[in-house]
A = this chain, B = another copy of it.
């Protein structure tokens, strides 16, 4: 089936929601798309969570190789959807076909990379402290440790990545890799794309004969269905990518449960870019080109969009700004994801532009098309920036604020005053390294990823990636939502003391533990 039907997929069954009916909107025309999707309610949340809990024991007990095969099968089935998926996603999001094709490759690559991680077995972080029966004054027991999955996970699809951060995106891949059943709440902005991908996942569940409750897809509003899902006692962790208000509401609901659970919410980031003097002197115009390309990419609808530029004022910064202003003014407007996002962008730019301490340097071209993003380049001074937190708020879209500083000390002071960020970027020439060395420790405390002489948009899916950062960039800075370490979000450690060999899980059994690290005896005393 390569056309959406409007139905949720709950533990393998098609369910048409009896709540509010919604339709996707083609943001490039404002036209509503067929079919209608019915929102689910309490019954559907209960059904999905009951099935997920029932599936958990068998799903987590699967051999690593089978779980890996399942992830690969999901990837295969997403690819089998072919152009129908890309076309539907294009109509629902306004994102270009080339971008969506790349995003699909990232999504399937991500699933296959997690399959490799699962197959390698090291995800269980096995450790063995062997018994020491003759230790004095007390013998030591045999103690082994592995990680096990937390339980059913709720994943909230994001508006801006209809594939890579949505139904079978990073959180779903990481949770399924960890051994956790997943219940996805689809984003209302791309329900058809969500249904198609959910059919691919459900198909893979069936292909491998897994328990149907391993995966469900629900439609519904965040405040109603979403909070109900987060507070369902079967759900044991939550992955969310979206607004700060949405993330905070989910975190508060999770914390207020009789049993609080971890929430991994990626919320807001302005991704500061520091332009150091040597770099500006060497290549101001070139940096400006790269900056505007990154700023305007995908109408600026990236979590890592460069929304802040910080530099010492002077002739080289003015050269940078001249080029940037020209590039922004030339920027062709592009369609935003939804009418609401386009409105919020326009309101955010208007609010900043009206600020007494803000100067509008450039706007992108106007457009008669609906829901477009006119890029915006604004400027302020560091004193004003420091004195009004409103200037630090993210405006989601292709808007960036240049903060002019008196000197290097003020650049560092601005860095020290920033809220938590997903990324911090430094443009530095050889001559700037002393200054960069002073800035680096400040940025480490502020951001999850630090880049030199590049642009923060484009998040590599690898083993070393950190897509996360201190609050409010995320609700939990100790993890990443992109890359293989994301599997650890959905795991917890268990120790096994003197468990008979025949009962030990494979990951920590004698001689059969690919990931086990037998650590030399530290001969510690047990008091």
Contacts and interface: CB of A to CB of B under 8 A. Distances in A.
A343 interface: no
Interface stretch (A44-52, A394-402, A474-482): A474-482
Contact of A500 (B452, B496, B499): B452
B493 A462 contact: no
B461 A526 contact: yes
A116 interface: yes
A478 B237 CA distance: 11
Contacts of A470: 259, 492
A440 interface: yes
B499 A462 contact: no
B452 A499 contact: yes
A164 to B, nearest CB: 7
Given A464-B128, A466-B493, A527-B106, A420 B259 contact: yes
Given A129-B465, A460-B143, A524-B461, A448 B493 contact: yes
B524 A495 contact: no
Listed residue (A262, A428, A453, A464) with the most chain B CB atoms within 10 angstroms of its CB: A464
A110 interface: yes
A497 B496 CA distance: 39
Given A144-B464, A464-B143, A526 B495 contact: no
Interface string A255-279: 1000110100000000000000000
A445 interface: yes
A493 B503 contact: no
A129 B526 contact: no
Interface residues of A, number: 88
Contacts of A105: 525, 527
Contacts of A262: 476, 478
Contact of A106 (B109, B495, B526): B526
A59 to B, nearest CB: 12
B498 A452 contact: yes
Interface string A121-142: 0000001110000000110110
Contact of A444 (B477, B494, B519): B494
Nearest to A61: B441
A433 B500 contact: yes
A493 B475 contact: no
Contacts of A494: 444, 447-450, 466
Nearest to A99: B527
B503 A462 contact: no
A102 interface: yes
Contact of A471 (B260, B477, B480): B260
A460 B493 contact: no
Nearest to A458: B526
B113 A524 contact: yes
Contact of A465 (B143, B255, B459): B143
Contacts of A143: 460, 462, 464-465
B502 A433 contact: yes
Interface string A83-103: 000000000000000010011
B503 A440 contact: yes
30 contacts: A104-B527, A106-B526, A107-B527, A109-B524, A109-B525, A128-B464, A129-B463, A129-B464, A143-B462, A251-B255, A255-B255, A260-B471, A433-B502, A436-B500, A436-B503, A437-B503, A440-B499, A440-B503, A450-B494, A451-B499, A452-B503, A460-B524, A462-B522, A462-B524, A463-B522, A468-B492, A477-B492, A478-B492, A478-B493, A480-B495
**A-B pairs, 6 with minimum CB distance:** A106-B527, A102-B527, A466-B495, A145-B464, A449-B495, A129-B462
Interface of A: 57, 61, 99, 102-107, 109-110, 113, 116, 127-129, 137-138, 140-141, 143-145, 148, 150-151, 164, 251-252, 255, 259-260, 262, 420, 428, 433, 436-437, 440-441, 444-445, 447-454, 458-466, 468, 470-472, 475-480, 485, 491-500, 502-503, 519, 522, 524-527
Given A141-B454, A143-B460, 13 more contacts: A102-B525, A106-B524, A116-B522, A148-B445, A255-B255, A428-B500, A433-B500, A440-B499, A444-B494, A447-B494, A452-B499, A466-B493, A470-B492
